[in-house]
Chain A
Amino acid sequence: MNALGTLLLFPGGLALLLVALLAEWISRKLLARLQNRVGPRWFQPLADTVKLLAKEEVIPEGVHRVLFEFLPVLSLAAVLTAALAVPLFGVVPATSYAGDLIVTVYLLSLLTLCTSLAGLITDDRYAAMGGLRVLSQLFSYEAPFLLALLGPAVAAESWQITRITAHAGSNVWMLFTQPVGFVVAVIGLMGKLELSPFDAPEAHTEIVAGSLTEYSGRGLALFRLSRNVALVVGLTLVAALYLGGVSDPLAFAVKTLALLLVITTVQALFARLRIDQTIGLWWHYGVLLALGQWFLILIGKGAA
């Protein structure tokens, strides 16, 4: 019963979904205010989701039906599974095992893969372009994001999220010891979630809605939800690893929120990068920075 509650109600499942919608609202509202607009009311993301769920799902001609319907479910399942191992709301995660950091990061990537496939299986040319762009972005952002998360892991000498957070909680914030890693992690997260200015894969003035162009109704709702959940999971992960552990749930919530606000503000400030610029930026700077940071940590470890 208890385990089921953890999975379905709190901190996983329902609570996570609601918080994910809340995060979307906070982000949209802040973005609106930064742009001097009014912005949505608090229940708008929920209303959007309900509306989409209630709408007819159009399945375009020429797609693999099963795959088309299965992909959104798979992506939501993937991000919800990813949530199991991270300390959501500062609560002890549902599961913890050696190497769960890697598993979590790759479960998050499964969402991206599903999004890409969703575009590639349709006959739509915008969706196909979007799918290709999602893949290119995945390849360029995966490495720096993972490297950035490995920094704290190396410092804590463990691949297990709970151990790393425990280490992070008992030492100086890694934001200060590994600032480069933090920046790379935040930007990597934005790139991973295709947030502006790294939203070339769904640049709607070029390729309409990118790989999700053909999706409507339930499928679109599930993809949107997974995106939001992935945002919360990603924020939790970065906050837990870089912003001093999870010992105090309230402080942790504040830290995560602050991180969300920072990410949203960054979204408002820049013009969209072209896909080649997005990728170039990462292979030129991101990876090098992350690697450099990593070597520094290793040398530091060796010296100690």
Chain B
Amino acid sequence: MRISTILGMALQSLFRVPATRSYPQERTPSPERLRGQLRWNPEKCTGCAVCVKDCPAVAIELLEVDKAAKRFVLRYHTDRCIFCSQCVQSCRFKCLSLSNEAWELAALDKQAFTVDYGRDEDIHALVEKPASTDDPPRL
């Protein structure tokens, strides 16, 4: 009868690397499909707002600058997003994507979590509307 079945494995472990990755000193490229921060391409957006409707976390707001000219600003709340990629699925015009690089999203103030996407002039036009950082509206 063996006294311990794990002895061999334990001794082997002494000579194994004890960590999978010594993050943050050592960085490996993130998987291609990693779901990080949302990105939006304003050129193709039609303003159908399906993404807003389907987002389970109320993380997207679509702000109109000029509806007729299809000029919108997408206000994205990183802190509410659950990275489910439903918006990416829902957008029939492929304007949305989740970045596989922007995944280290910690920040010291809440402002950093509200991101406005869009053409610069559109964002400027919206400057008087301050970003809301309140709790998400109740469903």
Contacts and interface: CB of A to CB of B under 8 A. Distances in A.
A34 B13 contact: yes
A13 interface: no
Interface stretch (A50-58, A171-179, A263-271): A263-271
A38 B13 CA distance: 11
Given A265-B10, A269-B10, A36 B18 contact: yes
Given A268-B10, A269-B10, A33 B18 contact: yes
A39 B14 CA distance: 12
B13 A269 contact: no
B19 to A, nearest CB: 5
A34 B14 contact: yes
Interface string A32-64: 111111110000000000000000000000000
Given A34-B13, A265-B10, A39 B4 contact: no
Contacts of B11: 34
A127 B130 CA distance: 55
Chain A residues touching B, range? 10 to 19
B4 A270 contact: yes
A36 B16 contact: yes
B107 interface: no
Given A269-B4, A270-B4, A34 B18 contact: no
B42 to A, nearest CB: 46
B18 A39 contact: yes
B7 interface: yes
A219 to B, nearest CB: 33
Contacts of B10: 34-35, 265, 268-269
Contacts of A32: 18
Interface in A1-57: 32-39
A40 to B, nearest CB: 12
B97 to A, nearest CB: 36
Q: Which 9 A-B pairs rank lowest in CB-CB distance, beginning with the nearest?
A: A269-B4, A36-B13, A34-B10, A38-B18, A38-B19, A33-B14, A268-B10, A34-B13, A37-B18
Interface of B: 4, 6-7, 10-11, 13-14, 16, 18-19
8 contacts: A32-B18, A33-B14, A33-B18, A36-B18, A37-B18, A38-B18, A269-B7, A269-B10
